[in-house]
Amino acid sequence: MPVFTLGIEEEFQTIDPETRELRSHMSKIVEGGEIILQERVKAEMHQAVVEVGTNICHNIQEARQEVTYLRKMILDLADKQNLQLAAAGTHPISDWQAQLITPNERYDKLIDEMRDVARSNLIFGLHVHVGIESRNEGVQIMNAVRYFLPHIYALSTNSPFWCGRNTGFKSYRSKVFDKFPRTGIPDFFSSASEYDEYINLLVKTGCIDNGKKIWWDIRLHPFFDTIEFRICDVPMRVDETICLAALMQALVAKIHKLHRQNLNFRPYRRILINENKWRAARYGIEAKLIDFGKQQEVPYHHLAQELLDFVDDVVDDLGSREEVEYLNKILEMGTGADRQLSVFNQTQDLTKVVDYIVQETSFGLR
């Protein structure tokens, strides 16, 4: 089996410890981190967002070490600036209209093009890169893995609140991002050349300047030999991030193994997969997703077990059984959204929800 390398990017909220509101002082964390972390920490469009990304990791254990180290470092940097960090897909209280934009030519162009669609995109995600041997195989793997995106997404749901309101969704982050063009579940592509022709057409016609403005839930990265999963809310705990990354890696490895055996996983149409994505966003792990083969609604917990069974024959080769099976822990304790809602139901106080997110972000690190 090839080495399906991993790269993990997490986006965090910078929080004022007194008001619990977002605070636009990300630059202080980035400036402090650049000396130690170099390119592994960077600014985002909103000044209340800080992103960290691992080096290339050869297995899930290396990935855990990197993610843990990066969280510890930026938590320490934030603490020195009298700031807190929170890992959730949206901030429960803060209004996007009050947030400052990072001075940057790229962001200026994006806002000039998209206006309030870009300004309001105050969301926080998890992006996971899985290394592939070739772009041609990458497209075929991407086609198959699309079916499982709602299954993974449901586990990551961590954004039930938006601008001080309980949205009724377990992941409202995806609803905010849906306003952007070129988002959501991608279409089926027959080959890497067809995929590249699509991107080249958009560049030629002035829709985009490069493939990084393809913001699908999963994509072939335009510059790296990776499949990039982009559908997930950033989880609260390191353990949850590592579980999701391990599941993504295992799915890529399993589809690769099927291809080597001249087998395949049936690809499903985007319009069908979107039905499951909607249910995952609305209900998280309490959803009933559709098994399109059986043409039946199935409780998420049953599908989660089927997912574990599907990747069971590759996880030991990857050395990720413990990390993959943390899925059961998420089902037991609830996703980040479930836990946020539980705190709110008990306290009726969104500042207490923010406190809880901050506490969970450093879980197991201090």
158-199 per-position pLDDT tens digit: 999 999 999 999 999 999 999 999 999 999 999 999 999 999
Q: How far apart are CA 190 and CA 162, in angstroms?
A: 38
SS3 7: strand
Q: How far apart are CA 28 and CA 37, in angstroms?
A: 14
Q: Which residues pair with 159 in a beta bridge?
A: 171
Q: Which residues pair with 297 in a beta bridge?
A: 290
What is the per-residue DSSP string for 9-72?
A: EEEEEEE-TTT-SB-S-HHHHHHHHHHHHGGGEEE-SBTTEEEEE---BSSHHHHHHHHHHHHH
Please give the tally of structural domains in the chain.
Answer: 1
Q: How far apart are CA 49 and CA 77, in angstroms?
A: 14
Q: How far apart are CA 10 and CA 41, in angstroms?
A: 10
* Closest by CA position to 238, among listed 168, 333, 323: 323
What CATH number is associated with residue 47?
A: 3.30.590.20
Q: Give, as one character, the DSSP assignment of residue 136.
A: H
In a domain, 246, yes or no: yes
Within 10 Å of residue 34's Cβ, how many Cβ atoms?
14
In a domain, 134, yes or no: yes
Burial class of 174 by CB neighbour count within 10 A (0 to 12, 13 to 18, 19+)? buried
In a domain, 75, yes or no: yes
In a domain, 304, yes or no: yes
Say if residues 78 and 87 touch (Cβ distance below 8 Å): no
28-86 per-position pLDDT tens digit: 788 777 767 877 888 889 999 999 999 999 999 999 999 999 999 999 999 999 999 99
Instruction: Using the predicted structure, report yes or no on whether residue 354 has a pLDDT greater than 70.
Output: yes
Say if residues 47 and 27 touch (Cβ distance below 8 Å): yes
- pLDDT value of position 366: 66
Produce one character per residue of 63-97: b if its CB has 16 or more CB atoms within 10 Å, e if not: bbebbbebbebbbebbeebebbbbbbbbbbbbebe
- pLDDT value of position 104: 87
Q: How far apart are CA 58 and CA 7, in angstroms?
A: 9
pTM given for the model: 0.97
In a domain, 1, yes or no: no
291-342 per-position pLDDT tens digit: 998 999 999 999 999 999 999 999 999 999 999 999 999 999 999 999 999 9
- pLDDT value of position 150: 98
* Closest by CA position to 7, among listed 49, 67, 90: 67
Based on its alpha-carbon atoms, the radius of gyration of the chain, rounded to whole angstroms, reads: 19
In a domain, 70, yes or no: yes
Identify the domain containing residue 46 by its residue range: 6-361
Tokens of 90: 């949206």
Instruction: Using the predicted structure, report yes or no on whether residue 286 has a pLDDT greater than 90.
Output: yes
pLDDT class for 11, splitting at 50, 70, 90? very high
In a domain, 335, yes or no: yes
